Amino acid sequence: MISKQDVSAVILAAGKGKRMKSSLPKVLHKVMGKESLAWVIELAEKITGQQIVVVGHQREMVTTSLSNWGCEVDVVVQDVLDGTGGAVKRALRRIKGDWVLILCGDMPLISARSVRRLFRASISGRPSMLVAETEERGSYGRVWVDEDGLAKRIVEKSDLSGSEDSSLINTGVYFVPKQLLREGLKRIVPNNAQGELYLTDLVQYAYQKKMGFKVVLVDPQECIGINSRKDLALAEEILRRRIINSHLERGVTIHMPETVWIEDGVKIGRDTEIFPFTVIRSRVKIGSYCQIGPFAHIRSGTRIGNNCIVGNFVEVNRSLLSDKVYAKHLTYLGDTVVGEASNIGAGTITANYDGHSKNKTEIGRNAFIGSGAILIAPVKVGNKAIVGAGAVVPKRHNVADGKVVVGVPAKEIRNG
Ligand code: UD1
Ligand code: MG
């Protein structure tokens, strides 16, 4: 058995990504709330002992992101973008394991399960690679396989001659003994339409040396490489479905799931219901027995307790809603903490941004905010306090526990 520590991942992320037509490096485009490269690194961390990322085009931006994510990867620079073969060559000296898993930073849908199947296929010491059978071959490399399931050669779309074609496409995921990789890369020459060093030429080299790559078939849906905006849209649709299904399996009800957008890393408790056209951004946490939506927007940094209702046209951003909070209609809560069982009336706005900085609003327990109230942050509304309909509470004019304020600007009155 090949252990995790024996395997080093080399993740290719140096390419130009011309087809994206973007000023952002292609591997930093987000797929359901998480960058394509971050998805690939997360996969590699699960199954390999070392992760090496090859950067090149716009490398400052990519390395800054790597450090922002706090991942412990080795970074290798590909100074001249001479192809996927050139990229792996640059990483050779840094590889610690005896086995190398090669992944592309633009392929966020590859699953750990599929890569583990590669590991098993290589138990005999042979290299292996993931391929998919599909009619939608696009610009992927075409793979030819012999009767024993060994890859004979890969031809890039732009290098196909005449009517030759194959229904097997190259996913760009390979599992190779380091020794073979080192020898093979020495032999590769830029003999193709793009004048690049193709990593794919390694396959033919290995076959001739009687060390042919064992081919492992995967679902074509896993193999989408994000080369264009169209690919990105397709990848998001597949991932969106995967995420929705994982919540359904955990006991969350999602009505009309085809209209609901839930990004990566969201936690939702059992028996919570999500109504149509709701958007939940990455890393949000929602408790049990809540009702969210229709048309709600729950943004990153938000935590919602149990038994809450966040209804139509309510946006909640970087806020904490304790248990039993109701915000049922037309509200914006930003940088706000709301205590247990408080009611946020229709049309309430927390004015959290003063043009320079974001400020906090604190609402206590069992408070009642009337319809159309504006709370200008920083401001606090105490436990059991009442803010009348249409009131504007100026900043720092905190409302004490149990008090009632009304009007513009809001003033305290004795009886509500
Ligand atoms: C590559 C494969 C193709 C396969 C496809 C799967 C080659 C020659 N072709 O094509 O067979 O079907 O992936 O998605 O390998 N990169 C570098 N340095 C470079 C060039 C590319 O690091 O000099 C990186 C890119 O950032 C990307 C990956 O390598 O993450 C693949 O490069 P890309 O240009 O997307 O190759 P494809 O045309 O997709
Ligand atoms: Mg690609």
SS3 content of the chain, % helix, strand, coil (to 5): 25, 30, 45
One domain, residues 179 and 310: no
Own/partner pairs, 299-303, CB within 8 angstroms, 24+ separation? 300/33
Give the residue whose CA is nearest to atom 35 of ligand 1. Answer: 227
Identify residue 11 by its one-letter amino acid code: I
How far apart are the two ends of the chain, measured CA to CA in Å? 73
Per-residue HEC secondary structure of 124-188 comes to: CCCCEEEEEECCCCCCCCEEEECCCCEEEEEECHHHCCCCCCCCEEEEEEEEEEHHHHHHHHHHC
pTM exceeding 0.85: yes
One domain, residues 239 and 149: no
Structural domains counted in the chain: 2
pLDDT, residue 415, reads 59
Residues having CB within 6 Å of any atom of ligand 1: 12-15, 54, 56, 78, 81-84, 86-87, 104-107, 139-141, 154, 156, 169-172, 198-200, 225, 227
pLDDT, residue 194, reads 87
Ligand with the closest atom to the CA of 220: 1
pLDDT, residue 2, reads 87
One domain, residues 21 and 132: yes
One domain, residues 157 and 254: no
Per-residue pLDDT of the chain (416 residues; tens, 9 = 90+): 789 999 999 999 999 999 999 999 999 999 999 999 999 999 999 999 999 999 999 999 999 999 999 999 999 999 999 999 999 999 999 999 999 999 999 999 999 999 999 999 998 999 999 999 999 898 999 999 999 999 999 999 999 998 999 999 999 999 999 999 999 999 999 988 888 999 999 999 999 999 999 999 999 999 999 999 999 999 999 999 999 999 999 999 999 999 999 999 999 999 999 999 999 999 999 999 999 999 999 999 999 999 999 999 999 999 999 999 999 999 999 999 999 999 999 999 999 999 999 999 999 999 999 999 999 999 999 999 999 999 999 999 999 999 999 999 999 997 55
Q: What is the CATH number of the domain that holds 310?
A: 2.160.10.10
Q: DSSP labels for 49-70?
A: SEEEEEEBTBHHHHHHHHHHHT
Q: What is the CA(222)–ligand 1 centre distance, in A?
A: 16
One domain, residues 59 and 128: yes
Range of the structural domain that residue 43 is part of: 4-223
Contact in structure between 196 and 6 (CB atoms under 8 Å): no
Domain boundary among 171, 206, 223: 223
Q: What is the CA(210)–ligand 1 centre distance, in A?
A: 25
One domain, residues 57 and 183: yes
One domain, residues 241 and 200: no
Burial of 190 (0-12, 13-18, 19+ CB in 10 A): middle
Domain boundary among 188, 223, 258: 223
pLDDT, residue 301, reads 96
pLDDT, residue 136, reads 87
Contact in structure between 273 and 258 (CB atoms under 8 Å): no
Q: What is the CATH number of the domain that holds 133?
A: 3.90.550.10
Domain boundary among 197, 223, 249: 223
pLDDT, residue 1, reads 78
pLDDT, residue 320, reads 98
Residue from 297, 329, 356, 397 carrying the catalytic annotation? 329
Give every CB contact of residue 341 below 8 A, 6+ residues apart in sequence. Answer: 322, 323, 324, 325, 365, 366
pLDDT, residue 192, reads 87
Q: What is the CA(213)–ligand 1 centre distance, in A?
A: 18
Contact in structure between 343 and 318 (CB atoms under 8 Å): no
Contact in structure between 315 and 332 (CB atoms under 8 Å): yes
pLDDT, residue 387, reads 98
One domain, residues 283 and 388: yes
Kindly tell me the number of DSSP H helices and DSSP E strands found in the chain: 7, 34
Burial of 414 (0-12, 13-18, 19+ CB in 10 A): exposed
Is the bond into 409 cis (omega within 30 degrees of 0)?
yes
One domain, residues 244 and 111: no
Q: What tokens does 83 get?
A: 């192809």
Q: What is the position in ligand 1's atom list of the atom closest to the CA of 198?
A: 8
Identify the residue whose tokens are 């590669």.
118
Q: What is the position in ligand 1's atom list of the atom closest to the CA of 14?
A: 22
* 372/393 Cα distance (integer angstroms): 11
Angle at 119 between CA 118 and CA 123, to 5 degrees: 115
Identify the residue whose tokens are 């490096």.
25
Residue 215 parent element (H or E): strand 213-217
One domain, residues 266 and 207: no
**Beta bridge mates, 331:** 314
pLDDT, residue 405, reads 98
57 is catalytic: no
Which of 372, 404, 413, 366 has the alpha carbon at shortest distance from 386? 404
Q: What tokens does 119 get?
A: 């590991």
Q: What is the CA(104)–ligand 2 centre distance, in A?
A: 7
pLDDT, residue 323, reads 99
One domain, residues 282 and 403: yes
What is the sign of the dihedral through the CA atoms of 204, 206, 209 and 212? negative
Residue 274 parent element (H or E): strand 273-274
pLDDT, residue 261, reads 98
* 367/387 Cα distance (integer angstroms): 8
Q: What is the CA(104)–ligand 1 centre distance, in A?
A: 7
Q: 39, 43, 82, 84: which to mutate for ligand 1, most atoms within 8 A of CB?
A: 84
One domain, residues 114 and 71: yes
* 318/340 Cα distance (integer angstroms): 17
CA distances in angstroms from 48 to 2, 87, 119, 166, listed in the order given:
10, 19, 11, 31
